[in-house]
Structure 1
Amino acid sequence: MTSSRPKPPRLLYIAFYFPPSRASGVYRARATANHFAAAGWDVTVFAAPLRFLYHVIGSVDEKLSETVDPRIKVERPELDLSRWENELHNMTWLEGTLPEAAKKLRQWREDRYFPEVYASWARDSVTKALRMHKTEKFDAVLATGNPFAAFAAAWEINKKTGIPYVADYRDSWTLDLFSDEPAFPPEHAAWRWEKRIIGDSSATVFVNNALRAWHADRYPASADRMLVVPNGWDPDLLEVAAGDGAESANRPLRFGYLGTVTSKQPVVEMAEAFRQAREYPDLHDAELNIHGHLGFFKQSHAAFLPLLGLDAKGEPDPESDHGLRLRGPVSKTEVAGVYEHNDVLVFLAAGGKYVTSGKIFEYMAAGKPIVSVHAPEIAAREVLEGYPLWFTADSLDPGQVAKSMVEAGRAARTLTPQQQAEARAYADRFQRDKLLDPLEHAIRGMVRRPIPAAEVQA
């Protein structure tokens, strides 16, 4: 008589931004789901409705969906889209005839459940999870924010079923990362929700030590259940060919920024620093390529063009060309080509001492010189200080940043294969799967039934 093998552990992963979304947090979500599936978990993801991604924010990367493990099941709970609806024929009678009354009713419903515009998605996530749990039980819930309504859904699922949950703060909720101050007044409902969510979670995860310390100080009773899982880079999306300084010997140097440009970043300082850098003979004909979207929404583009010294069509003024070039968005599956094309990578980042930024791990994995354009006290220093090709002015003064750009350019001209290998060796410790292993092991230990040992599958 042979005993039947236990079923694999079943994970509900509540991740609003999941492929084909192109939101910055989607790469951590994609990698996390893939990691658990490869480790033998039966993974179900609750993600944003496609209509929201395509028609409300117009923010998608369809090729990224092809990189999701086919074993993962993706469900898309409903979200009340009425606040974003502009077509009368899609509105209810109340919304079309009494818009203010409809708005107040919607706000009352949201505030009654959770103080965020995604509350309806969280409510439907709970309903869907409970229905699925009756058919085949989940063993654990992992929720990632933002939106932080995902945490509320995980908390309520736990209250109704007892399933252990983990809250992954890939972003900060009650701390404003751009001012280093609380994001809400003391009486705001977010504080009450955060206290209960962290207090009842089996673990709470942060992306760097600074954020963990801030939350541990505020919620000391839960500090021993707080983990740090840094962001990292994904080898399956980043195979950059090796190169050396000889490639740029007979052509202008190429500086490159890859990512979404936001209003919180020191965009003006970067543009002015590069203008000044081009006054040095070494960089007189250099170009700075901007690869990515300007803003998070499809209507955000125009506001950034004058900040970059570009006209309404995204073209430089021939009489005052500062070398900036708008190259447009890049699919995550094509970023390796961007890194290969550019000689120096520009780390443009917003925020202060609590900000790491997921982009920096990719930059390091490319093995190219990196020049910083961000506040000196940024948490990314914790990672960058060990990288051998990092150039920083420790300032946002354009003149000082320009000097760092010149130094980085010189390093690119003389880059040797050995230097690049050393840079990549340092970056290897931040491969995403290595960083996610402790989280997978921790959640596996929360499962309350016999389960198979972890089996990492190709």
Structure 2
Amino acid sequence: MSLRKIKVPKKVLIITYYWPPAGGPGVQRWLKFVKYLPEFNIEPIVYIPENPNYPIVDDSLVSEVSKGVTVLKQPIKEPYRLASVFSKKSSKTISKGIISEQKKQSFIEKAMLYIRGNYFIPDARKSWVKPSVAFLSDYISKEKIDTIITTGPPHSLHLIGLKLKESLGVKWLADFRDPWTTIGYHKQLKLTEASKLKHKALEKQVLNTANQIIVTSFTTKTEFQQITNKPIAVITNGYDNEKHVNFTMDNKFTLSHIGSLLSKRNPVILWKVLRDLVKENVGFSKDFQLNFIGSVSENVLNSIKTCGLSDCINNTGYVSHKEAVVFQKKSQILLLIEINSEDTKCIIPGKLFEYMISNRPIIAIGPKDSDVEKIIKETNTGNYFNYTDYESLKRIILEHYIAFQNKTLQSHPIGLQKYHRKALTESLSKLL
């Protein structure tokens, strides 16, 4: 009688900057992949900085790290810590990606943006590349690891993968959670022509050296196909089974935005629609509330103030992921706002997928023909509008308000299963 051969799990090294207790959407993607990879006979080993300077911290996520997973840590030099000596506020907001309008930037902010853009290419974590390569080269050889994954931003982590690929010949998968040179804030970094060319050259080198490229959106895939012939797989972000949370639906007609609202992520058309509904409908004016859960730029708050809606705002600020889930479930409507630009058509915020399973209607505003528009329509989870759709936006909000009054307001999603984190991890496992 023959014994069944036990298949030894394949070891894969994952190089990431964001890891609990980091908060925000960047940490969720690989936290969940690591959770499910063992079910596909893959043993993830995670490499992270020992002393990172995370702009957002969420200690509740530490408990979600898979028990038994190997986590390697090495020190990192963080320029944002030094920058905070000169301006704590500017360094913190820039590290979050919140950049003031040019005409409102202080001298210190302008100087910091110039230094960040031209002296730290591709980003402020570039000094971690050399020591990481030295440490990991030894570790990979000792542990006989033949596959590595880098995930960015920060895109400097792809340079670690590049060096390890060149020196050890490992299989390398480069995961892009966001684009590199076409991401919205890139144009605000006051780059010289030489710096722009250097970014482009590094991007091209990474895309043409990695064995496999992974992106989170269809538009980014199309963009990268103009630069490389290497295989590119789209694996979006997704949702996971959330632990049961106790909540009571809001009594007010709440429109809630969860996450950061950057200065250019400012849909003035929405504020005007809400202003007009408040003026025209007494019931609406009494019931309406605008919730902001996360960082909001002064530019956005000033636009809302100009529309006379300041008294309708509940500005909660950043909360833990668990608390954010509660807000998603108890809000009447969930807002998803993106900058109105060609460059943002590829952005699919991670929170979209959590929104989709919340049973609440989504109102999304962004550029025409975006990937978000495609997913929302495909899953029947809400309505998508451009920055000029005043009449249709007003009509849908009013329809939702009537449904709220009749206690029938909810979403009716279809085909969400393929966006479950386990299904997405299965797609990743096939590439490994």
- How high is the TM-score relative to the length of structure 2? 0.80
Matched residue SS, 2:238: coil
1:288 aligns with 2:284: no
How far apart are the structure 1 equivalents of 2:377 and 2:72? Answer: 41
Amino acid paired to 1:290: F
Amino acid paired to 2:362: I
| 2:366 and 2:385 in contact (8 A); partners too | no
| 1:177 and 1:354 in contact (8 A); partners too | no
1:232 aligns with 2:228: no
Cα-to-partner distance string for 1:41-72 (whole Å, 9 max, x where unaligned): 3222222343522xxx3x20010111111222
Q: Which residue of 1 aligns with 2:337?
A: 348
How far apart are the structure 2 equivalents of 1:267 and 1:157? Answer: 44
1:139 aligns with 2:140: no
Distance 1:49 1:307, change over 3 A: farther
| 2:217 and 2:235 in contact (8 A); partners too | yes
Q: Which residue of 2 aligns with 1:274?
A: 274
| 1:266 and 1:373 in contact (8 A); partners too | no
| 2:9 and 2:42 in contact (8 A); partners too | yes
Q: Please report how far the alpha carbon of residue 121 of structure 1 lies from its aligned counterpart in structure 2 after TM superposition.
A: 1.3
In structure 2, runs of 5+ residues without a counterpart are 86-111
Stretch deviating more after TM superposition (148-157 or 334-343): 334-343
Q: Please report how far the alpha carbon of residue 399 of structure 1 lies from its aligned counterpart in structure 2 after TM superposition.
A: 6.2
Matches within 5 A, 1:66-105: 66-82=63-79, 84-85=81-82
Matched residue SS, 2:57: coil
1:395 aligns with 2:387: yes
Matched residue SS, 1:150: helix
Distance 1:277 1:434, change over 3 A: farther
1:433 aligns with 2:430: no
1:212 aligns with 2:221: yes
Distance 1:232 1:347, change over 3 A: same
How far apart are the structure 1 equivalents of 2:213 and 2:237? Answer: 15
The equivalent position to 1:169 in structure 2, one of 176, 192, 197, is 176
Q: Which residue of 1 aligns with 2:109?
A: none
1:384 aligns with 2:376: yes
Matches within 5 A, 1:224-373: 225-236=231-242, 251-266=251-266, 268-281=268-281, 283-285=284-286, 286-294=288-296, 305-309=301-305, 321-350=310-339, 351=341, 352-373=344-365
Higher-RCO chain (CA-CA 8 Å, sequence separation at least 6) = 1
Matched residue SS, 2:226: helix
How far apart are the structure 1 equivalents of 2:166 and 2:119? Answer: 20
| 1:43 and 1:71 in contact (8 A); partners too | no
Amino acid paired to 1:273: V
1:200 aligns with 2:209: yes
Distance 1:175 1:303, change over 3 A: closer
How far apart are the structure 2 equivalents of 1:426 and 1:3? Answer: 38
State the structure with more CA Rg.
Answer: 1
How far apart are the structure 2 equivalents of 1:392 and 1:411? Answer: 18
Q: Please report how far the alpha carbon of residue 277 of structure 1 lies from its aligned counterpart in structure 2 after TM superposition.
A: 2.9
How far apart are the structure 1 equivalents of 2:201 and 2:186? Answer: 22
Identity of aligned residues (%): 18
Amino acid paired to 1:25: G
Distance 1:185 1:411, change over 3 A: farther
1:122 aligns with 2:129: yes
Matches within 5 A, 1:98-113: none
Amino acid paired to 2:232: M
Matched residue SS, 1:42: strand
Q: Which residue of 1 aligns with 2:101?
A: none
Q: Please report how far the alpha carbon of residue 433 of structure 1 lies from its aligned counterpart in structure 2 after TM superposition.
A: 1.8
Distance 1:61 1:387, change over 3 A: same
Q: Please report how far the alpha carbon of residue 363 of structure 1 lies from its aligned counterpart in structure 2 after TM superposition.
A: 1.0
Amino acid paired to 1:323: C
Q: Please report how far the alpha carbon of residue 271 of structure 1 lies from its aligned counterpart in structure 2 after TM superposition.
A: 3.4
How far apart are the structure 1 equivalents of 2:270 and 2:48? Answer: 35
Amino acid paired to 1:388: N
Distance 1:154 1:327, change over 3 A: same
Distance 1:411 1:141, change over 3 A: farther
Stretch deviating more after TM superposition (147-156 or 285-294): 285-294
How far apart are the structure 1 equivalents of 2:361 and 2:280? Answer: 18
Q: RMSD of the TM alignment (CA)? A: 3.6
Q: Which residue of 2 aligns with 1:375?
A: 367
Distance 1:201 1:399, change over 3 A: same
1:404 aligns with 2:396: yes
How far apart are the structure 1 equivalents of 2:375 and 2:39? Answer: 27
Aligned pairs, number: 395
Amino acid paired to 1:341: K
Q: Which residue of 1 aligns with 2:46?
A: 45
Q: Please report how far the alpha carbon of residue 78 of structure 1 lies from its aligned counterpart in structure 2 after TM superposition.
A: 2.4
Q: Please report how far the alpha carbon of residue 28 of structure 1 lies from its aligned counterpart in structure 2 after TM superposition.
A: 1.1
Q: Please report how far the alpha carbon of residue 145 of structure 1 lies from its aligned counterpart in structure 2 after TM superposition.
A: 0.7
Q: Which residue of 2 aligns with 1:92?
A: none
| 1:208 and 1:230 in contact (8 A); partners too | yes
| 1:37 and 1:72 in contact (8 A); partners too | no
Q: Please report how far the alpha carbon of residue 74 of structure 1 lies from its aligned counterpart in structure 2 after TM superposition.
A: 2.2
| 2:258 and 2:292 in contact (8 A); partners too | yes
Amino acid paired to 1:14: I
Amino acid paired to 1:430: Y
Q: Which residue of 2 aligns with 1:16?
A: 17
Q: Please report how far the alpha carbon of residue 429 of structure 1 lies from its aligned counterpart in structure 2 after TM superposition.
A: 3.0
Matched residue SS, 1:188: helix
Distance 1:413 1:124, change over 3 A: farther
Q: Please report how far the alpha carbon of residue 21 of structure 1 lies from its aligned counterpart in structure 2 after TM superposition.
A: 0.9
Distance 1:409 1:347, change over 3 A: farther
How far apart are the structure 2 equivalents of 1:380 and 1:426? Answer: 15
How far apart are the structure 2 equivalents of 1:134 and 1:2? Answer: 31
How far apart are the structure 1 equivalents of 2:4 and 2:239? Answer: 41
